[in-house]
Structure 1
Amino acid sequence: MTKPRYLPYGYRIQNGLITPDTAQAEYVRQIYQLYLAGNSLQEIAKHLQANSIPYSDETGWNKNTVHRIVKNPAYCGKDRYPPIVEYTLFQKAQVLCQRKAPTYTEALKDIRGDIICPDCDSRLEWQTKGHRWRCRHCAAFSVQIAPDILLQSIATTMKRLQDNPDSINDQPLSHNTVSIEAEKQQAEIDEMLSAGEFDAASLIQSVLSRADTQYLCCTAGNADPMTLRIKEALAAAPPCNTFDPKLYHAIADKIILHRTTSIQLKLVNGMVV
């Protein structure tokens, strides 16, 4: 019988009742034991993967899936679920979780300066009291969102781009940016020549730099350089199942956070996805 998607990992429906899945329940107990023994969420996920332990979601095991199990009170008998772990064991895991939990801004240190308002593009600020993001300029605000959920949303968007690189379109303004830079360099060269007296080595360096800029523009073909950079970074990175700060900074410029906490990425080529 197919297990309903709303059931937490470790449970199944049998004769119309929610009951522990024998094999999965044992894995849940292992997760708690490993966590209380000092293993990190990532280490536990790697252990489960290495032992080919299946997970009911297509995303597989990662620190977020393990974290959801460690934090879910269903496993100690809450919300009409039969208990899989003892209540005292669950409580010890919560104490350890709280001790290890970083502050919101620490968890988002790689991106907190990039989160912008969907209405006015102003930077959003984190409000500790309301546990939400707020725009100081237009007063727009988001509903509450946990840092791991926000990071996973970004990771999901980047993974979608990895799976569909052809969906990344060239942005005409990127060509203009390159052309403007080349023209600026040409103006500097013309100014040096019109002055009559100049350092030959400096002039040669300026001419070569101008040629490099023009070459980048010409060799991009139908793809602007920033779009090429995005596609190359996505192809070189491992599958983005969790947030990868290195990949994020290579392809994205800003994060547009909507009131409902859905997100869009503004890529370095200007495209919004």
Structure 2
Amino acid sequence: MKKIRYIPYGYTMKNGQTVIAQDEAAVIREIFSSYINGASLQSIAELLTERRIPYSERSDIWDKARIARIISNAKYLGDNEYDPIIEEKQYEEAAAIKTARQRNTFEKNLAGIELLRDRVRCAECGSPMKRRISNKHRIRESWECSNAECGQRVRISDSQLLDKTRILMNRIISNSYLLVPRSKKRKELSMDVQQISREIDAELERDNPSDSLIIAKTVEMAGRLYEESNAHLQIAASIARKRVSMMTPQEAFNSDYFNDIVAHLTLGSDGKVVLHTKTNVEIAGEKNECDKNTEKDNIDH
């Protein structure tokens, strides 16, 4: 096995000739079989990495780009230099599946971006952001703050934005307690509540206080106190957690899940995405958590 590969995985040099490396060839056949049977490139890479299957003398770390190159490499069918490792039927079936997944991902991305159009806000000023397209840049897509005084523009591909959102959604799905808002610290009664309280006291001091008025004012004050607390958010969080408990982590952006949980998201100048849930909680990931090359973003399907 070479420290740095100059020939495709699955082959080695022996007496100046390119020959099949049988242990690697077995991995290649397994990769094709798993992919044809429905496994994603990412899940295959994770499994091989977990099993510490060496890719080279220097690395036993696999990623979806390496798996994709193997799936797409026609040399495994055999030619004048390389002996065949897989059958033509397997190669064609894998190629057809890859094409179908690419088309499906493209359609899902379109639907996801349409959903986000009215949900992206500027992390600097909170104003809505508008999606722009320019063919002059490697990354065509960008989001521009609608506030002329702010004018922040973030260049981020659709696939990156959806993937960052998906990662944060999966974090919520795996940790539903994140939806629970922090309890507000006790604070002084608002002017409205104080005014209602004075009105109740004044009525009680009358010789013939009105029971109906006192009851009405008490109910009004209770409603004000409820609005000023986060009790309604706690109830919403409880309902949301039950909904999340029925969800499973996703490999692609899920519009239904997003609609159920997220009110809007903010986008920062460094491409950082923060989800703002319907329970008034902010969910943020690490900076540049899934920044990737645009081509690599789309390669998994």
Q: In 1, distance between residues paired with 2:101 and 2:257?
A: 30
Displacement of 1:216 in angstroms is 7.0
Aligned: 1:90 with 2:95: yes
Of residues 145, 170, 177 in structure 1, which corresponds to 2:182? 170
Displacement of 1:119 in angstroms is 2.3
Displacement of 1:255 in angstroms is 1.1
Partner in structure 2 of residue 229 of structure 1: 236
Displacement of 1:72 in angstroms is 3.8
Instruction: After superposition, give the CA deviation of every residue in 1:118-143 in whole Å (9 maximum; x if it has no partner).
Output: 22222222123322323243232133
What letter corresponds to residue 76 of structure 1 in structure 2? S
Paired residues of 1:117 and 1:135 also in contact (CA < 8 A): yes
Gaps of 5+ in 1: 1-11, 32-43, 46-53, 59-67, 194-199
The structure whose RCO (Cα within 8 Å, separation 6+) is larger is 2
Partner in structure 2 of residue 127 of structure 1: 132
Equivalent pairs counted in the alignment come to 216
Aligned: 1:254 with 2:254: no
Q: In 1, distance between residues paired with 2:228 and 2:256?
A: 26
Paired residues of 2:181 and 2:233 also in contact (CA < 8 A): no
Displacement of 1:75 in angstroms is 0.7
Paired residues of 2:123 and 2:267 also in contact (CA < 8 A): yes
What letter corresponds to residue 236 of structure 2 in structure 1? R
1:1-273 pair list within 5 angstroms: 19=25, 20-31=27-38, 57=46, 72=68, 74-77=70-73, 82=76, 85-86=90-91, 90=95, 93-94=98-99, 97-98=102-103, 101-102=106-107, 104-129=109-134, 130-137=140-147, 138-146=151-159, 148-162=162-176, 165=177, 170=182, 172=184, 183=193, 186=196, 208=219, 210-214=221-225, 224-238=231-245, 239-242=247-250, 248-249=258-259, 251-267=261-277, 268-269=279-280, 271=282, 273=284
Secondary structure of 1:27 counterpart = helix
What letter corresponds to residue 155 of structure 2 in structure 1? S
The alignment's C-alpha RMSD in Å is 5.1
Paired residues of 2:120 and 2:264 also in contact (CA < 8 A): yes
What letter corresponds to residue 266 of structure 2 in structure 1? I
When the two structures are superposed, what TM-score results if normalisation uses the length of structure 2?
Answer: 0.49
Gaps of 5+ in 2: 1-8, 14-20, 48-63, 78-85, 135-139, 204-210, 285-301
Larger Rg: 2
When the two structures are superposed, what TM-score results if normalisation uses the length of structure 1?
Answer: 0.53
Instruction: After superposition, give the CA deviation of every residue in 1:132-191 in whole Å (9 maximum; x if it has no partner).
Output: 3232432321332416424422323323542xx279551638x77xx659739949x98x
Partner in structure 1 of residue 287 of structure 2: none
Secondary structure of 1:266 counterpart = strand
